[in-house]
């Protein structure tokens, strides 16, 4: 039986995420994270072999969150359109609560700092399955249209991309309608 870790995986990832949101992704350093979890920097190397792996913990955690919301939706609803609506809104919600870490999904400083492909693939597969039911010909392109829009919107919203005022919630719902109509929903 291995010795218990003094710092749980959950504590660690929570610290990484909170530092990233508070002071930016660049502020996630081995020593800052170590200090946050009450440990010395060298000890962290038993958990993540470098700074980028620390960031991946956070990125994976956000991917996991999104995956759970999608799974929960899948259980509750059968209508594919409803599933896609829920997924887009879930992404926007997560991005609003964790803007910095959410950008890591497709805007990481290095590939190793982004989410694990094995973790993202099943999410994409679920979306693709739902899209396929709506748009049997070239569902991959249709799914990419939806994800690109949802990610772009969420990122821009959180990074000052929408400075002209107006009703941003309305813009989101309008965009959702446009994209879903276009993919046959």
Partner DNA sequence: GTCTATAGCATGATAGAC
Partner DNA sequence: GTCTATCATGCTATAGAC
Least separation in angstroms between residue 2's CB and a copy of itself is: 34
Q: Which residue of 14, 18, 21, 51 would you call a contact of DNA, by CB under 7 A? A: 51
Q: How many residues bind DNA (CB under 7 A)?
A: 23
Nearest to 143 by CA among 103, 98, 88, 100: 88
Count how many Cα atoms sit within 13 Å of the Cα of residue 92 in the half-sphere of its side chain. Answer: 21
The site partner of 147 among a copy of itself, DNA, none (C-beta below 5 to 8 Å per kind) is a copy of itself
Is 133 near DNA (CB under 7 A)? no
Contact 66, 124 (CB under 8 A): no
Stretch that binds DNA, among 37-45, 69-77, 92-100, 123-131 (CB under 7 A): 37-45
Nearest to 104 by CA among 179, 19, 31: 19
- List of residues contacting a copy of itself (CB under 8 A): 24-26, 103, 106-111, 114, 117, 120-121, 124, 128, 138, 140-142, 144-145, 147-153, 155-156, 159-164, 166-168, 170-171, 174-175, 177-179, 181-183
Q: Which residue of 14, 50, 74, 126 would you call a contact of DNA, by CB under 7 A? A: 50
The site partner of 9 among DNA, a copy of itself, none (C-beta below 5 to 8 Å per kind) is none
Token digits for 37?
A: 């979890």
Is 24 near DNA (CB under 7 A)? no
The Cβ of residue 73 has, within 10 Å, a number of other Cβ atoms equal to 19
Distance CA 76, CA 70 (A): 10
**In b/e form, how buried is each residue of 3-30, taking b as 16+ CB within 10 angstroms?**
eeeebeeeebbbbbbbbbbeeebeebeb
The site partner of 6 among DNA, a copy of itself, none (C-beta below 5 to 8 Å per kind) is DNA
């Amino acid at each position: 039986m291995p010795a218990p870790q003094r710092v749980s995986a959950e504590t660690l990832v929570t610290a990484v995420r909170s530092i990233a949101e508070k002071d930016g992704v660049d502020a996630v350093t081995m020593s800052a994270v170590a200090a946050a979890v009450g440990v010395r920097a060298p000890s962290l190397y038993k958990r993540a072999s470098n700074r980028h792996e620390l960031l991946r913990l956070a990125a994976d955690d956000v991917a996991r969150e999104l995956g759970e919301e999608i799974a929960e939706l899948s259980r509750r609803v059968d209508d594919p359109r409803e599933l896609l609506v829920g997924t887009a809104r879930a992404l926007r919600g997560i991005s609003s609560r964790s803007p910095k870490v959410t950008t890591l999904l497709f805007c990481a400083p290095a590939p190793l700092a982004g989410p694990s492909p094995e973790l993202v693939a099943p999410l994409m597969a679920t979306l693709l399955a739902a899209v396929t039911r709506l748009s049997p010909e070239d569902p991959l392109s249709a799914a990419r249209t939806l994800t690109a829009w949802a990610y772009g919107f969420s990122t821009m919203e959180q990074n000052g991309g929408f400075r002209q005022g107006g009703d941003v919630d309305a813009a989101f719902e309008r965009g959702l309608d446009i994209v879903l109509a276009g993919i046959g929903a």
